[in-house]
């Protein structure tokens, strides 16, 4: 069973990492606009440092990012040249509702995205649109406390219904909330949450999660009502967990870590809370407030497909001392001696992608979509901006072969594949430009210097051939 001829090849970006144009066209400030570079970035992301406005002495890379706000036509032309069938992008909530609770949307923001969708359609590229990609208007944080407040359900649904109606016929594929499980690890990024010292942080995070899950279900319902052709997906920060040893407690820890993320998708894909989550709330005395109608709301509108990001697998242990030299990204992992690592310590595991696909498909029996996968690396361009990035080609070749095996050998139903950062953009974890993912080099450094000129890397022409051959040329 080879890849379907309608398989959606493409690339992915996020507004806060690529768009720039912050405060232009009537846009308001968003939580992710406030992530500085440097040591305080992680503190802000985790909700432990209240910085709800720009401050002197900090560099905020999202302000201009790679300026797709002004250059999107040039960038879409390059995507079309590669042969993209789909382009995953996100909307900036605060570009459409500057304060989040505005009664009426910002027309300039709506028109901006409409022009992007029309340009994509002109090149026969399907938009795959994330409604909220780590994006909460600062107004909703200051006035309501972010997603810990149930009122955000109404504001989010109003925002989503606005864009669903405005872009009817232009957008078919929608994702409600990006990497929804990140809320548990970076609550300011995932939910616009700032903690007080006396807060029950675990309870607040799961309460915010419940609000997001209800909101997602309501928007899924609305999407189907606005247009029966709409397909709505959920989005998980994915990657299988391996037990560090054959000790049964390590295996149990791997199951628990998988469940930490699957909990969200269990609700979105199956329409109800899994028993293990309810028992966790009971065991840890987490008082999660739920409205009488919430159970029915969740049950009525499961998503149509499941999407996820995959960069690496993770190795975990039940014994804290084993984490003396933790590696990886947002999710701490013990170094796996059988795997190579990137320059940022993320371990490269293509077979782990196949494993993750099988786990998700076995669990949900719904179509899957890989919406983020890529290699962050330091690129050294020549005088013409050309980068010999064979290391990126090698990484992507191995991962594409892995998902082909999942489809052709294992029978997984896979809709498409969008590489992360098809054009260089601001890294979410560090705010750096030097951690590059794209097929297109952008002349920009970690301090914001550079011309922003675009140039093709070696991987550009390679991926073009991959798409043209529907994955046969690797």
What SS3 state is found at 425?
coil
Helix (H) or strand (E) holding 416: strand 414-420
Tell me if 423 sits within 8 A of 78, measured CB to CB.
yes
Q: Is 54 exposed, middle or buried (0-12, 13-18, 19+ CB in 10 A)?
A: middle
- Catalytic residue, candidates 19, 64, 372, 408: 372
* Chain-centre distance for alpha carbon 254: 23
Tokens representing 455 are: 């140039």
Tokens representing 320 are: 């804290």
Tell me if 362 sits within 8 A of 377, measured CB to CB.
no
Rounded Cα distance between 229 and 383, Å, is 47
Q: Which residues of 233-254 are buried (b: 16+ CB within 10 A; e: fewer)?
A: bbbbbbbbbbbbeeeeebbebb
Rounded Cα distance between 348 and 345, Å, is 9
The residues that bridge with 9 in the sheet, in sequence order, are 417
Active site residue 372: yes
Q: How far apart are the first and last CA of the chain?
A: 18
Rounded Cα distance between 216 and 218, Å, is 5
What SS3 state is found at 347?
strand
3-state helix, strand, coil in the chain (%, to 5): 45, 15, 40
CB atoms near residue 169 (< 10 Å): 9
DSSP E strand stretches across 97-221: 126-132, 173-177
DSSP result, 44-80 = HHTT-S---S--TT---GGGTTT-HHHHHHHHHHHHH
Long-range contacts of 461-464 (CB under 8 A, 24+ apart): 462/393, 463/82, 463/396, 463/419, 463/439, 464/81, 464/82, 464/83
Rounded Cα distance between 74 and 72, Å, is 5
Name the residues annotated as catalytic. 372
């Amino acid at each position: 069973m080879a890849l379907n001829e309608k398989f959606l090849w493409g690339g992915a970006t996020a507004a806060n990492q690529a768009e720039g144009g912050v405060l232009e066209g009537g846009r308001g400030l968003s939580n992710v606009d406030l992530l500085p570079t440097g040591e305080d970035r992680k503190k802000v992301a985790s909700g432990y440092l209240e910085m709800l406005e720009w401050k002197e002495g900090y560099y905020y890379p999202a302000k201009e990012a790679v300026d797709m706000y002004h250059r999107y036509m040039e960038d879409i032309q390059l995507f079309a040249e590669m042969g993209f069938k789909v382009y995953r992008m996100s909307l900036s909530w605060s570009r459409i509702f500057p304060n989040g609770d505005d009664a009426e949307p910002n027309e300039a923001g709506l028109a901006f995205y409409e022009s992007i969708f029309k340009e994509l359609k002109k090149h026969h590229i399907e938009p795959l649109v994330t409604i909220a990609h780590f994006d909460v208007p600062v107004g909703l944080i200051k006035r309501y406390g972010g997603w810990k407040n149930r009122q955000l359900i109404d504001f989010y649904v109003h925002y989503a219904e606005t864009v669903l109606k405005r872009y009817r016929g232009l957008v078919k594929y929608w994702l409600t909330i990006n990497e929804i499980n990140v809320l548990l690890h970076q609550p300011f990024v995932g939910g616009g949450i700032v903690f007080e010292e006396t807060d029950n942080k675990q309870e607040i995070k799961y309460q915010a999660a419940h609000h997001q899950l209800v909101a997602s279900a309501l928007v899924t319902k609305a999407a189907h009502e606005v247009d029966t052709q709409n397909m709505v997906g959920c989005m998980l920060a994915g990657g299988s967990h391996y037990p560090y040893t054959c000790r049964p407690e390590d295996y149990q820890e791997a199951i628990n870590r998988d469940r930490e993320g699957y909990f969200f998708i269990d609700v979105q894909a199956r329409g109800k809370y899994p028993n293990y989550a309810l028992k966790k709330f009971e065991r840890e005395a987490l008082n999660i407030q739920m409205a009488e109608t919430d159970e029915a709301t969740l049950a009525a509108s499961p998503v149509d497909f499941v999407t996820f990001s995959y960069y690496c697998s993770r190795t975990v242990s039940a014994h804290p001392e084993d984490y003396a030299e933790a590696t990886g990204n947002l999710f701490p992992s013990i170094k796996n001696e059988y795997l190579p690592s990137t320059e940022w310590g993320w371990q490269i595991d293509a077979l782990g992608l196949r494993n993750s696909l099988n786990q998700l498909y076995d669990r949900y029996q719904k179509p899957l979509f890989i919406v983020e996968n890529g290699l962050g690396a330091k690129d050294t361009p020549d005088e013409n901006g050309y980068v010999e990035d064979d290391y990126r080609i090698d990484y992507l070749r191995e991962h594409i072969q892995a998902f082909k095996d999942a489809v052709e050998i294992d029978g997984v139903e896979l809709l498409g594949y969008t590489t992360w950062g098809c054009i260089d953009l601001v890294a979410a974890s560090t705010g750096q430009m030097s951690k590059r993912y794209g097929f297109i080099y952008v002349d920009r450094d970690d301090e914001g210097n550079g011309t922003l000129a675009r140039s093709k890397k070696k991987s550009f022409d390679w991926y073009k051939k991959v798409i043209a051959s529907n994955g046969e040329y690797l």
